[in-house]
Structure 1
Amino acid sequence: MGIDICEPGDLAAADLAAWAALQERAAREGAGQLANPFLSPEFTLAVGRVRRGVRVAVIREQGGREGAFEGFFPYQRSAFGVGRAVGLGLSDCQGVVHRPGFTCDARELLRACGLAVWEFDHLAAGPQPFARFASSAHASPVIDVAGGPRAFWDGLRERSPGFTRRTLSKERKLGREAGEVVYVHDERDPRVLRTLLAWKSAQYRRTGRSDRFARPWIVELVERLFHTSAGSCAGRLSVLYAGGRPVAAHFGLRSRTTLATWFPAYDPAFARYSPGLVLHLRLAEAAAAEGLRHVDMGRGDKRYKDALKSGDLTVYEGWAARRHPVALGHRARRAPVRALRHLVVSRPELFAPADRLLKRWGAMRSGGERTTRG
């Protein structure tokens, strides 16, 4: 096995084509998670243009540039050999994109990449070199849309009849009271993208969360992906309009088989109509109509995901490490924080008060911002 390390921008056209071809083959042969757009070359290229330290291990059957492609491993590396999944905290699928039957010693791969440790939080299921280093497993809800729109609606009404009935009723009420409801599955107006990002920023602040879009590199990443259009990864802005006005929107990434949801938000002035839920129904229906297999809603417990999902994929969290002092230090620093977060999220008696506290803090912070601006 030969391993070449390069920056994403230095990958040859043949490398990029082989990477995309491995994703297509994985989808055909039952390893659909490897076809996720977060594992695409385009996502890694986009992150590499806005963040330092992004690298790709190109794994071949033999050494040199002549061997057959075995796999591609994108990662980010610090100066001290601490590795992270590309876009850690933003990416909903991570790992090695590889051919069927591929095997590799994880520590050998880390050594070739110059990594003491590699941290992941959405490792794809299946025969991944890093699977044995997983410390926890998590459900990632999906909607099966492979049967087309009619099968999607039939399945949803069977699984969640009350949810479906209430949401469609609210859509009709929105149309009566705010004007004609129109769903656009692939909106290309960048002004609407900016509206969505403003809604999402306000939502983060309102709920006491860190505002991702206060970081210019994340805004630039989303804008780059909005203009990306490839088979293995395309930016997809979907918008629900009422009376010609956007009331809910979502930006995600689409591969040939999967629509990965990412940033949904809505105008709080229309909250009583649940426009975000209406948007998700129409998004899944449109994904079914364009021949996709899954809408991957990403890891995390939400009531709307429970109502919409037809099943769950599994993703893993953990660290792959060599015996190295840098790896020990990184885990000692990160493990307590991660353990505390899991404890709070997994126990309702802790999560509910923590969530209320964050929302109160968000309301106080938003009120202070309005006073200062006034």
Structure 2
Amino acid sequence: MSRWRALQESDAAFDNPFLSPEFTITVGELRDLVRVAVLYDGQDIAGFFPFERHPMGIGKPVAAGLTDAQGLIHAKDLDVDPAKLLKSCGLSVYEFDHLVSGQPLLDERHERHPSPIIDLRDGYGRYTASLREHSGKTYKSTLAKGRKLQREAGTLRHDYATTDLAPLRTLLGWKTDQYRRTGRTDRFSHQWIVELVERLLATQSESFAGVLDMIYVDDEPVAGHFGLRTRTTLAGWFPAYDTRFAKYSPGLIHHLAMAERAAESGIQVIDMGRGQKEYKDKLKNGELEVAEGRVARVGPAAGVHWMMRVPVRKTRATVMANPFLLKTADKALKTYGRLRTVLQG
């Protein structure tokens, strides 16, 4: 683990908790699919490649579908032949959707996407100054709604980096309601994901920890977030709020409070993850880059995988890139979510 950590901390591109050894180890305790390839340069360990091996030799990132940073953790300028790596790992294909920059697996065929961040390297004050300059209306209205929330509901309190399970379960309940309301698949219907989050909350060290924080009014929970951190990067993961307070924009109120406390604790970057969300556009003051695609060896399994996955991915990318199509798809999902809620009720 010490060598993994040293490699991770040697390159800013790897400064994400989803690339930390603790994350892979914890997922591996719950998922038999998890593997780690150790790469050598002579006698020296030069890299680690965490992955999941699925049937037919299909490789995916650890906790595929949940993570916003994926890839090898490796020494600078390490020469890696992707085909040889896949063969050594018993893989026909490795597919990814959040591969971090600078990876030896990347080439010009792979699609690049922005991953918005809250950059706190110059401090919270400088961050809010940039918000006032570029998103002044959002910043001022969020502060005003925070004051209104306190006038109408009670004193605002922020509990940052708590390890209490009770607020975590409240947060996951809100998130489940959000998934159902918007027509998305409820991730927390899978027990292993619930247990993963609980175990990560209990993991607390200087270099890696689960971070749960909530805001309250008169001790009633309003909004919160569960994510993971390294020493200097907090990865956004599961934000949610109580819809009874929706008119106050509790998610934005919470994110500003979280950014302030995170900066005080030494966090320099909050990585909000790839994806077009209105709150990300309003809060970001920078971007990273992640890639989507696959690497494959020639063979039947790779061909079957291409037919099953690549056309679907390209169609999805077309929808995401077109505002009209995206709005239409989102509306359809929300309609489905409302119907599902009525039928289940």
Q: Taking structure 1 as the reference length, what is the TM-score of the superposition? A: 0.90
Question: Is contact 1:35-1:232 (8 Å) kept?
Answer: no
Q: Relative to structure 1, is the Cα distance of residues 133 and 326 closer, same or farther in structure 2, using a 3 angstrom cutoff?
A: farther
Aligned residues: 345
1:20 aligns with 2:5: yes
**C-alpha distance in structure 1 between counterparts of 2:69 and 2:98, whole Å:** 5
Instruction: Give matches, 1:140-155, under 5 Å.
Output: 140-155=115-130
1:202 aligns with 2:182: no
1:230 aligns with 2:205: yes
Q: What do the CA deviations read for 1:62-101 (whole angstroms, capped 9, x no partner)?
A: 2xxxx22211110000242111111111010001111222
Question: Which residue pairs with 1:300 in the alignment?
Answer: 275
1:280 aligns with 2:255: yes
**C-alpha distance in structure 2 between counterparts of 1:259 and 1:91, whole Å:** 13
Amino acid of the structure 1 residue aligned with 2:62: V
Amino acid of the structure 1 residue aligned with 2:106: A
Amino acid of the structure 1 residue aligned with 2:101: A
Select the residue among 15, 18, 27 that pairs with 1:47.
27
191-200 or 285-294, which moves further after superposition? 285-294
Q: What do the CA deviations read for 1:185-241 (whole angstroms, capped 9, x no partner)?
A: 112210110000110000000011111111111111111111112344210001011
**C-alpha distance in structure 2 between counterparts of 1:143 and 1:78, whole Å:** 35
329-338 or 313-322, which moves further after superposition? 329-338
Question: Which residue pairs with 1:78 in the alignment?
Answer: 54
Q: What do the CA deviations read for 1:309-333 (whole angstroms, capped 9, x no partner)?
A: 1111110000111112111111111
Instruction: Give matches, 1:1-374, under 5 Å.
Output: 16-26=1-11, 32-62=12-42, 67-126=43-102, 128-132=103-107, 134-370=109-345
Q: Match of 1:185, SS?
A: strand
Q: Post-superposition shift, 1:35?
A: 1.4
Q: Match of 1:337, SS?
A: helix
Q: Match of 1:104, SS?
A: coil
**C-alpha distance in structure 2 between counterparts of 1:122 and 1:310, whole Å:** 20
Question: Which residue pairs with 1:9 in the alignment?
Answer: none
**C-alpha distance in structure 2 between counterparts of 1:20 and 1:134, whole Å:** 30
**C-alpha distance in structure 1 between counterparts of 2:213 and 2:249, whole Å:** 16
Q: Post-superposition shift, 1:61?
A: 1.5
Q: Match of 1:138, SS?
A: strand
The root-mean-square deviation of aligned C-alpha atoms, in Å, is 1.2
Question: Is contact 1:134-1:319 (8 Å) kept?
Answer: no
Q: Post-superposition shift, 1:105?
A: 0.9
Q: Relative to structure 1, is the Cα distance of residues 232 and 105 closer, same or farther in structure 2, using a 3 angstrom cutoff?
A: farther
**C-alpha distance in structure 1 between counterparts of 2:206 and 2:75, whole Å:** 18
Amino acid of the structure 2 residue aligned with 1:91: T
Q: Match of 1:336, SS?
A: helix
Question: Is contact 2:127-2:285 (8 Å) kept?
Answer: no
Question: Which residue pairs with 1:12 in the alignment?
Answer: none
Question: Is contact 1:197-1:213 (8 Å) kept?
Answer: yes
**C-alpha distance in structure 1 between counterparts of 2:41 and 2:320, whole Å:** 43
**C-alpha distance in structure 2 between counterparts of 1:232 and 1:92, whole Å:** 18
Question: Which residue pairs with 1:13 in the alignment?
Answer: none
**C-alpha distance in structure 1 between counterparts of 2:40 and 2:210, whole Å:** 30
Question: Is contact 1:42-1:232 (8 Å) kept?
Answer: no
Q: Post-superposition shift, 1:53?
A: 1.6
Q: What do the CA deviations read for 1:38-77 (whole angstroms, capped 9, x no partner)?
A: 0010110111111122100111212xxxx22211110000
What are structure 2's unaligned runs of at least 5 residues? none
Q: Post-superposition shift, 1:134?
A: 4.9
Superposition misfits of 4+ residues, deviation over 2 angstroms = 230-233
Q: Relative to structure 1, is the Cα distance of residues 75 and 329 closer, same or farther in structure 2, using a 3 angstrom cutoff?
A: same
Amino acid of the structure 2 residue aligned with 1:98: H
Question: Is contact 1:133-1:320 (8 Å) kept?
Answer: no
Amino acid of the structure 2 residue aligned with 1:45: I
Question: Is contact 1:152-1:288 (8 Å) kept?
Answer: no
Q: Taking structure 2 as the reference length, what is the TM-score of the superposition? A: 0.97
Q: Relative to structure 1, is the Cα distance of residues 231 and 330 closer, same or farther in structure 2, using a 3 angstrom cutoff?
A: farther
**C-alpha distance in structure 1 between counterparts of 2:55 and 2:125, whole Å:** 52
Amino acid of the structure 2 residue aligned with 1:21: A
